[in-house]
Structure 1
Amino acid sequence: MSGTAAARQILTGLHELMATRQSAQEKLDRTVEIVGEALDSEVCSIYLLRSGMLELSATRGLNQSAVHVTRMAVGEGLTGTLVSNRATLNLAQAKAHPDFQYRPETGEEKFSSFAGVPIVYRERAVGALNVQHVEPRRYEDVEIEALQTTAMVLSELIVNAGLIDERSAEEAAPERSGSAQLTGLTLVAGLATGSAVFHQPRITIDKVVAEDTEFERQRVYRAFERMREQIDQMAQQAEFGSGGEHDEVLAAYKAFAYDEGWSRRINEAIDAGLTAEAAIERVQQRTRMRMREIDDPLLADRMHDLEDLSNRLLRIVSGQMGTAATTGLKDDAILIARNLGPAELLEYDRRRLKGVILEEGSLTAHVVIVARAMGIPVLGRVRGLRGVVGEGDDLLLDADGGVAHVRPQPSVVEAFEARFAKSKERRAAYAELRDVEPFTRCGTRIQVMMNAGLRDDLTTLQLVGADGIGLFRTEFQFLVSATLPQREKQTRFYKDVLEAAGDKPVVFRTVDIGGDKAVPYLSNDSSLEDENPAMGWRALRLALEREGLFKAQARALIEASGGKTLRVMFPMVSEPWEFDAARKVFEQQLDFLRQHKRIMLPEAIEYGAMIEVPSLVEVLDQLLPKVSFVSVGTNDLTQFLFAADRANPKLAARYDWLSPSILRFLKRIVDASRGHDVTLGLCGEMGGRRLEALALLGLGYRRLSITPVSVGPIKELIRQIDLAEVGAFMNGLVAQPPADTRAAIAAWAQERGIDVD
């Protein structure tokens, strides 16, 4: 019997059973018979949570005398482990598992294989559904899926039929009393206080078993159509920088929304007897299981995208649309979400939104870039949020320390408020530096520029007093479009950017898409399927091959810069010939416009390259005579040097920007640029951290392009430094590195009263 047919048989039997007047125990006893017969299983057992312990409540195949006798704690034995982890177990040899515990009263010693799934109610496991066989075997995927579908239905039926007592039902509800502390990964540093607001309140599925499968199928079809219409409309009308979803979410929406495999799995769940909502949730549970098994952070991010899409489909089919942004924030709020896109973040009232806590989140996600630009602290990778935090709970977010305090005690509030007050004083002091030029103590003017890419960043340029935009990420406009953005639309936007910047310079980085920044209109190209996307077909490599795309952007930038100086920078240059080829595209477009268009052309074009591929440093002597400026991209450069994916949380904190290898490499670039009429800059997160910025200034960097919120702190730091003094120190440190370079630099700064915190 197929998995779908077995699940259908089980659901039909359970639906009929629950309509009878049999006692609760009789229903449990009959349930294990129904499941066991459908799956041809020698053993089928149900364990339910009662008074905090998992109790064998019904069995087919084990000793009946063990029913209501065998009990175990959550986390104890195989059943307790799968309930604790809310994860499926599928074992050919159960006794070989480290958590196996033998219970002699059950008579289970003759059974080798074991498969079990948790029974989940209100996001908490309240029991387990297990099967066993004498012969060693791993259960087929269709059998596991049938068990999972059955467990999903059981969670509703056992509660509605009173098969677990009220105390057990209460235990299944998340524990949200008393103070608690959550830990996570710092995505954007900062402090915040506010009430917990859930971005997407979880949809409650009231009905699981379908009465009319064809009716449920039509509901899903209509929901898919509406969802696809919404996504297409969003992509077409997305206003770059303020109205579009972030790159990976939008690309995944386009790819997954039309994925036949996904819709087929939902249809199979409906065939098994589930309602539309339950079928979507059933497939979503399978996705979550796969996510737990994925170590690759990029693949995990793609699975998060599918989960976001599933939530959208579930909201449509249930009629429960909207997010917390729709109703608006009434008080200072800390937003709680599984994952979030930058456009979704921008929908919230910034006067009220004080911080964000994510169950997932990535150091490289675009929502982090947006939040950093907005000055909103973000804590990510916080597991079990909904089990601890309730809507409206008081929260203290300390993203600096990677913790969040839930319903904090008065003593914790008092200490936090003292830190918060000091933080506000410092921010006020930074704001006063807006119009102050950053000169060192020795009188050297340092250029402090900012990174941008969002429309809202343009107003920030004036607010923080940056010298200009040292990195404008043009790819955002490409990433939020369902089709290649029209050249006219690109031209209008680039012109708006230049007008908003006024007399301050803007460095446009040409499009950096491909790899992990997928776009739907390139997704059919098999060459995009890189095993290592960050090092694959992306950025300038893609642009030079997609000549039409690159020519359109080149012409748009030239036309938008009429009467001004156009500064354009090429990303991921690995050899000089790539720079030559990219510049040739711009020069050809410039010649065409001179001959065929009566428009005002740029007064000059300054060409630059990003130094982020280590191979380019080996041939800087060939590149530097050709460029007006170069900018070191520390984010990609670091991961390439260390062969460490910076999006992987296991590796993100392992390699230090202040390690001798990085510092020596950065110094090589400074030394190589001497004697050339080239402006050397650095863009990346490294330049926005005070201790790292101190080291960079000591190595010889005089132009930093950083996040807007870092401009004030870095300006303040610059005014405390004597370049000759810090230069001599850094030269000595690089030549003879100490055991801990970070600690050595911090100690040197502290001795001289330089604040690098």
Structure 2
Amino acid sequence: MPGAAAAARSILTQLHEVMAARTHAQAKLNRIVDIIGEALDSEVCSIYLLREGMLELYATRGLNQSAVHVTRLGVGEGLTGTIAANIETLNLDEATTHPEFQYRPETGEEKFHSFAGVPIVRRARAIGVLTVQHVESRKYEEVEIEALQTVAMVLAELIHNAGLVDEEDLGERSEAQSGQQVLDGLKLVKGLALGKAVFHQPRIHIEQTVAEDIEAERQRVYLAFDKMREQIDTMAGQAEFGVDGEHEQVLETYKMFAYDEGWSRRINEAIDSGLTAEAAIERVQQRTRQRMREISDPLLADRMHDLEDLANRLIRIVSGQLGTAATTGLHGDSILIAKNLGPAELLEYDKRRLKAVVLEEGSLTAHVVIVARAMGVPVIGRVRNVRGLVREGDTLLVDGDAAKVTVRPGQGVLDAFEARLVQKRQRQAEYAKLRDVEPFTRDGERIEVMMNAGLRDDVAMLSLTGADGIGLYRTEFQFLVSAALPQRDRQTRLYRDVLDAAGDKKVIFRTVDIGGDKSLPYLSSEKSREDENPAMGWRALRLALEREGLMKVQARALLEGAAGRELNVMFPMVSEPWEFDAAKEVFEGQLAFLKKRKHKLPSAIRYGVMLEVPSLAETLDLLLPKISFISIGTNDLTQFLFAADRANPSLAERYDWLSPAILRFLQRVVRNCAGSGVELGVCGEMGGRRMEALALIGLGIRRLSITPASIGQIKELVRQVDTKDIGEAMKGWMAQPPQDMRAALSAWAEERGIEVE
């Protein structure tokens, strides 16, 4: 027998003529089974097609012709059904020894011993099965099996074009491709969402499988390999590549596959058999997928997933289809599925239709998570093999609170989830009525309820929520979504636009907080690369003071952007007063520079700090005379107080914000600031939770800066509270902490009819 490529090419050449002939589909399939049988010297060749959920014998050479369109097998039934269900190849020297063997007397197959079959696959689904049988008891050779697999690819195109199968009615295909499934992941951004699955990088559907010019196809693959290798070689500098500490390991695996001569040789051999470049790559991947099912070693299975990822990249390059789903736009409520995602890529999507993101990788510190949280888009990460288990267009339920994705939910589950969404929307509608209501407590205290922002479009939420202003504008978002350091004029435009949109409402700009979990490839340094614990390393103000040019540019951009208006600027992660002095000196230097050149200046400049590092609380007496306001950053403060990295899933929610340690610390800060004239607030997730917000008000906090989604519910809470009442209760609890602070607060609120959950 000639080699696999030659055997397949011989068959494909004849198939090409058959497909071009002006005969009906049945006649074509009848001719095809003869061609395959003759080429492989096989006494039987049969084609089964999936119709109305059953595998129907559609054409045969060697079996009884009276069985055509009569013999039908369920998916998973018999040898043929097993091939379709598992999308796997079978090669048996004695068919009757297989546990799934079933004898169909109408076919007259009792005299045939050897059996081989391959699935006919389209869009990752089995739409039929191609089988061969022989009287002699023998296994088919590897070259024969490979020829069958190649022919099956071309058959898939013919079958689809002829409309011979209902590709949506796949019956009981396999557990991985049908029925309800619940997938677990890592909670990255909370929230609920319902929508249709959309792949960030849409699958390339190969329509032309038979090559017109083999050498032209080979050249296309060579050029695609060159481009792919170039892309892989530049990945090392991309901050979003890799997961947590695995960057180097994953990159090396990608390089290994990208430069693997064996992989490129197998693709070349598939082209030799007469396939187009796209079909050849897919042909090799089908073989790889079948082998993956036999791998029990999880590490090897992961590496095979890496190869799958590279193959998809290669097909996109060779086909010229390099765009993402954002390019074509979303149609209806959508759940985005991706291996990983960058923040700039996320921002390309229509926020009205993007309801959630599900990632195969992803971590709590990924840039995309930071941006998604600001956008209010739920995100679940580390959902293993989600791109293999979910089909484009599947209905998905995303529960970001529980880190679960329900795929193809049953009607009962869907109804219950929709009821939760309706309840959530009703609550939001009630909160929306409070947009123009000022948040006064029952005893007349005015609580400032401000919002956090970081994107230009976020400012529109000021009027939609009725927030008092922006208590934290994260200027680093502009840096995170840029491929290079944003120029001064671009920064200036952003700050001016934000102030214009905010009108007479206050905006507090936090100077750039990068480094640590927000590393940027164009701003990396030896100090940041050496960080074993980035959250407590070379980041935020520490990095900005070292990179004086970076801070000077931002200072001047803020001063020019705020020309004629009040500028509120806040420095992050200040550990000691001298750091504040050094940062203010940079701003004052730029102010003098602009004044000397007669530039229009801000009408007033108010300086403040983020209190995130506990050491700063010990020197407040030295700092208070120099500043106008303090914002307590509860997210970082909590991890520093408890020595618990919030990026570690095991520790992320272990330490309660209502712990006496946190509350007593905050109480001390409130007392130290009393009478100083310095405004004190809290910005962070703690202030956006009703029970925690109640505790903060009881401690004397009168400004909260929270996510826009939390504004309404906190306003509603404020109007139910008497500050003197909760203040007395908190005073007692701080002196003598209850065993369960959360239970004590809940009981106190319930007695007064205050909802805190």
Same fold (TM over 0.5): yes
1:221 corresponds to which of 219, 226, 229: 226
Q: How does 1:613-652 map to 2 (within 5 A)?
A: 613-652=613-652
Once the 2 structures are TM-superposed, how far is the Cα of residue 267 of structure 1 from its aligned partner? 2.3
Match of 2:688 in 1: 688
Once the 2 structures are TM-superposed, how far is the Cα of residue 472 of structure 1 from its aligned partner? 0.9
Match of 1:592 in 2: 593
- Answer with 658-667 or 269-278: which moved more: 269-278
Are the counterparts in 2 of residues 566 and 605 from structure 1 also a CA contact under 8 Å?
yes
Match of 1:349 in 2: 350
1:268 corresponds to which of 260, 264, 280: 260
Match of 1:104 in 2: none
Alpha-carbon spacing, 1:332–1:547, altered in 2? closer, same or farther (3 Å) = closer
Deviations 1:133-175 (A, max 9, x none): xxxxxxxxxxxxxxxxxxxx99987844889xx9xx9999663
Match of 2:702 in 1: 702
Q: Matched residues in 1 for 2:144 and 2:735: separation?
A: 67
Match of 1:192 in 2: 193
Provide the secondary structure at the position in 1 that maps to 2:563. Answer: coil
- Letter of the 1:248 partner, please give it: E
Q: Matched residues in 2 for 1:321 and 1:485: separation?
A: 26
Q: Matched residues in 2 for 1:521 and 1:416: separation?
A: 44
> With structure 1 as the length reference, what TM-score do the two structures score?
0.69
Provide the secondary structure at the position in 1 that maps to 2:650. Answer: helix
Are the counterparts in 2 of residues 217 and 270 from structure 1 also a CA contact under 8 Å?
no
Deviations 1:296-330 (A, max 9, x none): xxxx9xxx999999966652244233333333333
Deviations 1:462-494 (A, max 9, x none): 211111111111112223333332222222221
Deviations 1:42-68 (A, max 9, x none): xxxxxxx97999999899xxxx99x99
Q: Matched residues in 1 for 2:640 and 2:145: separation?
A: 48
Q: Matched residues in 2 for 1:385 and 1:179: separation?
A: 14
- Letter of the 2:324 partner, please give it: T
Q: Matched residues in 1 for 2:86 and 2:308: separation?
A: 32
Aligned CA RMSD, in angstroms, stands at 4.8
Match of 1:87 in 2: none
Match of 1:394 in 2: 395
Alpha-carbon spacing, 1:713–1:16, altered in 2? closer, same or farther (3 Å) = same
Alpha-carbon spacing, 1:336–1:261, altered in 2? closer, same or farther (3 Å) = closer
Match of 1:91 in 2: none
Are the counterparts in 1 of residues 644 and 651 from structure 2 also a CA contact under 8 Å?
yes
Provide the secondary structure at the position in 2 that maps to 1:248. Answer: coil
The alignment status of 1:382 with 2:383, answered yes or no, reads yes
Provide the secondary structure at the position in 2 that maps to 1:618. Answer: helix
Deviations 1:262-312 (A, max 9, x none): 657522346762549859989x99xxx9x9779xxxxx9xxx999999966
Once the 2 structures are TM-superposed, how far is the Cα of residue 565 of structure 1 from its aligned partner? 1.4
Q: Matched residues in 1 for 2:85 and 2:333: separation?
A: 37
Match of 1:315 in 2: 316
Q: Matched residues in 1 for 2:183 and 2:174: separation?
A: 18
Q: Matched residues in 1 for 2:344 and 2:661: separation?
A: 38
Alpha-carbon spacing, 1:541–1:226, altered in 2? closer, same or farther (3 Å) = closer
Alpha-carbon spacing, 1:480–1:306, altered in 2? closer, same or farther (3 Å) = farther
Deviations 1:580-608 (A, max 9, x none): 1111111111122222x111111221111
Once the 2 structures are TM-superposed, how far is the Cα of residue 739 of structure 1 from its aligned partner? 3.2
Q: Matched residues in 2 for 1:58 and 1:350: separation?
A: 50
Match of 2:736 in 1: 736
The alignment status of 1:410 with 2:411, answered yes or no, reads yes
Q: Matched residues in 1 for 2:734 and 2:306: separation?
A: 43
- Answer with 186-195 or 697-706: which moved more: 186-195
- Answer with 484-493 or 727-736: which moved more: 727-736
Deviations 1:200-246 (A, max 9, x none): 33457999xx99988644322245668999x9xxx9xxxxxxxxxx9
Match of 1:603 in 2: 603
Once the 2 structures are TM-superposed, how far is the Cα of residue 560 of structure 1 from its aligned partner? 1.6
Deviations 1:370-424 (A, max 9, x none): 4444443334443343454333233333434443433333333333333332222
Provide the secondary structure at the position in 1 that maps to 2:557. Answer: helix
What are the ranges of 5 or more consecutive residues in structure 2 without an aligned counterpart? 11-38, 43-81, 101-120, 126-142, 157-169, 268-276, 290-294
Provide the secondary structure at the position in 2 that maps to 1:651. Answer: coil
Q: Matched residues in 2 for 1:400 and 1:17: separation?
A: 55
Q: Matched residues in 1 for 2:309 and 2:622: separation?
A: 47
Q: Matched residues in 1 for 2:670 and 2:363: separation?
A: 31
Match of 1:498 in 2: 499
Q: Matched residues in 1 for 2:87 and 2:8: separation?
A: 23
Are the counterparts in 2 of residues 198 and 335 from structure 1 also a CA contact under 8 Å?
yes
Alpha-carbon spacing, 1:538–1:680, altered in 2? closer, same or farther (3 Å) = same
- Letter of the 1:623 partner, please give it: L
Alpha-carbon spacing, 1:293–1:726, altered in 2? closer, same or farther (3 Å) = farther
Are the counterparts in 2 of residues 513 and 539 from structure 1 also a CA contact under 8 Å?
yes
Alpha-carbon spacing, 1:22–1:736, altered in 2? closer, same or farther (3 Å) = farther
Q: Matched residues in 2 for 1:307 and 1:691: separation?
A: 47
Once the 2 structures are TM-superposed, how far is the Cα of residue 630 of structure 1 from its aligned partner? 1.0
Q: Matched residues in 2 for 1:559 and 1:154: separation?
A: 74
Are the counterparts in 1 of residues 493 and 561 from structure 2 also a CA contact under 8 Å?
yes
Q: Matched residues in 2 for 1:308 and 1:505: separation?
A: 47
Deviations 1:522-568 (A, max 9, x none): 23646534222222211111111111111111111112222211111
The alignment status of 1:423 with 2:415, answered yes or no, reads no
- Letter of the 1:555 partner, please give it: R
Match of 1:464 in 2: 465
What are the ranges of 5 or more consecutive residues in structure 1 without an aligned counterpart? 1-11, 25-48, 73-119, 125-152, 236-245, 295-299
Q: Matched residues in 2 for 1:195 and 1:70: separation?
A: 40
Are the counterparts in 2 of residues 359 and 381 from structure 1 also a CA contact under 8 Å?
yes
Are the counterparts in 1 of residues 441 and 721 from structure 2 also a CA contact under 8 Å?
yes
Q: Matched residues in 2 for 1:643 and 1:600: separation?
A: 46
Once the 2 structures are TM-superposed, how far is the Cα of residue 616 of structure 1 from its aligned partner? 1.6
- Letter of the 1:636 partner, please give it: D
Are the counterparts in 2 of residues 190 and 377 from structure 1 also a CA contact under 8 Å?
yes
Alpha-carbon spacing, 1:667–1:308, altered in 2? closer, same or farther (3 Å) = farther
Are the counterparts in 1 of residues 8 and 148 from structure 2 also a CA contact under 8 Å?
no
Q: How does 1:278-297 map to 2 (within 5 A)?
A: none
Are the counterparts in 2 of residues 196 and 335 from structure 1 also a CA contact under 8 Å?
yes
The alignment status of 1:363 with 2:368, answered yes or no, reads no
Are the counterparts in 2 of residues 186 and 380 from structure 1 also a CA contact under 8 Å?
yes
Match of 1:542 in 2: 543
Aligned residues: 615
Q: How does 1:40-51 map to 2 (within 5 A)?
A: none
Alpha-carbon spacing, 1:161–1:626, altered in 2? closer, same or farther (3 Å) = same
Provide the secondary structure at the position in 2 that maps to 1:433. Answer: coil
Provide the secondary structure at the position in 2 that maps to 1:356. Answer: strand
> With structure 2 as the length reference, what TM-score do the two structures score?
0.69
Q: Matched residues in 2 for 1:451 and 1:748: separation?
A: 29
Identical-residue share of aligned pairs (%) = 60
- Letter of the 1:711 partner, please give it: I
